[in-house]
Amino acid sequence: MTHKQEPVVGTQGDVSSQDNTKSWFYSDEVKEHFFNPQNFMHDEVNEEEYNAVGKVGSPACGDELRVWMKVDPKTEKITDFKWKTFGCGSAIASTSIASVMVTENGGLTLEEARKMKPQDIMKRLGGLPQRKFHCSVLCDKALRDAINDFYRRTDQFDKIVNEASRIIDPVSKVTDKDIEEAVLEGAHTLELVQQKTKVGVGNPGCLPAVEELIRFYKEKYFG
């Protein structure tokens, strides 16, 4: 028996307007950061001015997010955080508030910033629709990619944290992360995930685990 996953902390469900047409709930904080994004990189980027760069793509939104950070080498505090992304308002608002969170009050250390979770971002925004949760994941991943980049540039390889992954199909070498990305790209059925990853084509014994992961990631990101 499967149980419906509880809503992620900080998310908001769909609400109906007075004329009973569906609309999504967006807090005033989300609207503020969408219409007036903080720390957005308006000009051409001179990457030599920054000592940490991160990027991540999310086909679910059609976004590619890039971030540039200045990190104090002595304190490892984030003193500046700039970003660019194109696409949905939730991705813009999430990255805008994240840029404020990591630089306010003198800046977070890289260790502190790495502990920041998507739920923390959504809490500061006053919540996001459940179907837009993946937007907060987007900026969280870009931030962690930039932190790894700083440690790579400063030869602190022992501090680099790679995303853990688990091989689901030993034949095709498909991991749980591959399936997660396929779901984010819109592959919400086993057939579509197989088209993208070839998981289980030569090893049908793994398909029950694949189907369980598809259900998990659909519920996690899309409610």
Is there a catalytic annotation at residue 135? yes
Give 187-220 as a DSSP string: --SHHHHHHHH-TTSS-GGGHHHHHHHHHHHHHH
Residues in CB range of 154: below 8 A, 6 or more apart: 51, 73
Active-site residue, from 88, 135, 139, 206: 135
Tokens of residue 25, six digits: 């709930």
Is there a catalytic annotation at residue 61? yes
Q: Within 10 A of 208 (CB to CB), how many other CB atoms are there?
A: 10
Vertex 111: Cα angle to 106 and 114 (nearest 5)? 100
Please answer whether residues 210 and 182 qualify as being in contact, where contact means their C-beta atoms are separated by less than 8 angstroms: no
Q: Minimal CA–CA distance to 61: which of 92, 40, 33?
A: 92
Tokens of residue 80, six digits: 């500046």
Active-site residue, from 61, 88, 139, 206: 61
Residues in CB range of 72: below 8 A, 6 or more apart: 79, 107
The catalytic residues are: 61, 135
